[in-house]
Amino acid sequence: MNGRERVLALLDGQPIDHLPLMPITMMFAADTAGVPYGRYALDHRVLADAQCRTAAQYDFDYVSCISDPAREAADCGAKVVWFDDQPPALDEVDALLADKSRLRRLARPDPQAGGRMTDRVQAAALLRERAGAERLVEGWIEGPCAQGADLRGINTLMLDFYDDPGFVHELFAWVIDMELRFARAQIEAGADLIGIGDAAASLVGPHLYDAFVLPYEKRLVDGVHEMGARVRLHICGNTRPLLTSMGTLGADIVDLDYPAPLDEARQAMGPRQVLLGNIDPVRVLRDGTPESVTAAIAACHAAAGDRYIVGAGCEVPRGTPPENVQALTRYAQSTRF
């Protein structure tokens, strides 16, 4: 059974040989390939090469287009600050939609127009070509709250929930239309699965999440499914208060950050939901030992049950010892069904 077959079989409820292994790697992958992260984020060929090398070295079941949250916002015209060897970032102080009336005049970028979104679409195509049928190819889009924050400014968006709820709905509807086009382009280029990253959603409580965020995440999940691809939902931060709602989205994989206990997630989301994660990326994966990593991931597996994929709570941090990542691989491959 190869990596792609293993992941898809698990998602389809078919027998698998051992647990799939899908840790998020970005800076760790760039470092593994010996390239500065600025180049990784700018050039799909560098990204694809680093992803393939890292997946081969640690026997991951997938490769991914994920790099930074600024691709769509950059193509919308947002100001992006670049660094040589870390992810590009959006300038919060000078947000594109600081004046919210601009939203009505803002054109949705074409994912094939040659900008940063196109570079990701090209990454999906190149990863498909390089991975063949051996490994699953993951595309990536931003969720409504994360992308809304990237465009509006996260501090301002948090106030908008109370000051101008109508604008938040308008913004999120605009965002998901753009994101679905982006997802379609990546799927057509070869992505099997689309990751939806909605980091800022963990800053709001269940009341605002249910009223504002969940309906638009649901439209993204359903839209990607209609395009024939699978969905991995990842919300950085503490999603513990949101677990029950997240379980209603129908995401094929719910990838949880470390503050959300997997046993609570299992109880909230039911026995069929595939869970992924969620050892503490810094305190356990980077700062621990192979023994402590193994113990922590075994505890995650025990809490989640067998509808489970091995991974960290978030990105494998830069500076993580290779032997700690190898401990994840050994654990996944030591499980037997």
Partner 1 sequence: MIDLAQLGAAVERGDRDSARSLTQAAIDAGQAPQEILDAMVGAMGVVGRRFQAHEVFVPEMLIAARAMKESIALLEPLLVQAGIRPVARAIIGTVEGDLHDIGKNLVAMMWRSANIEVIDLGANVSPQRFLDAARQHEPHLVGLSALLTTTMPAIRRTVETLRQAGVAAPRIVIGGAPVTLQYAREIGADGYAPDAASAVDLARQLLGLQGSPS
- The residue ranges that bind partner 1 (CB under 8 A) are 27, 37, 81, 83, 85-87, 89-93, 154-155, 158-159, 161-162, 203-205, 208, 236-238, 240-241, 281-283, 286-287, 317-319
Q: Which of 15, 34 has the CB closer to partner 1?
A: 34
Are residues 196 and 231 in contact, defined by beta-carbon separation less than 8 angstroms?
yes
Report the residue number, 37 or 58, with the smaller CB distance to partner 1.
37
Could you give the CA distance from residue 262 to residue 298 in angstroms, rounded to a whole number?
Answer: 12
Please give the radius of gyration of the chain, using alpha carbons only, rounded to the nearest integer.
Answer: 19
Report the SS3 class of residue 159.
helix
Task: State in angstroms the smallest separation of the CB of 260 from partner 1.
Answer: 12
CB closer to partner 1, 223 vs 313 = 313
Cβ at position 165, least distance to partner 1 in Å? 11
- For 164-202, b/e burial (b = at least 16 CB within 10 A) is eeebbeebbebbbebbbbbbbbbbbbbbbbbbbbbbbbb
- Nearer to partner 1 by Cβ, of 191 and 285: the residue is 285
* Residue 143 · residue 85 · CB < 8 Å: no
Q: Which is nearer to partner 1, 241 or 261 (CB)?
A: 241
The residue count of the chain comes to 337
Please name which of 8, 168, 20 lies closest in space to residue 97, comparing C-alpha atoms: 168
- Closer residue to partner 1, CB minimum distance, 161 or 167: 161
Rounded to whole angstroms, the Cα distance separating 211 from 276 reads 26
Q: Name which of 118 and 324 has its Cβ closer to partner 1.
A: 324
The CB-of-328 to partner 1 minimum distance in angstroms stands at 18
Whichever of 159 and 173 has its CB closer to partner 1, that residue is 159
Beta strands in the chain (DSSP E): 62-64, 80-81, 89-90, 136-142, 193-197, 230-235, 253-256, 274-279, 308-312
CA end-to-end distance (rounded Å), the chain: 13
308 beta partners: 275
Crossing angle of helices 154-163 and 165-189, rounded to 10° = 130
Do 176 and 219 touch, CB atoms closer than 8 A?
Answer: yes
CB of 281 to partner 1, least distance (A): 8
Could you tell me which residues are beta bridge partners of residue 89?
81
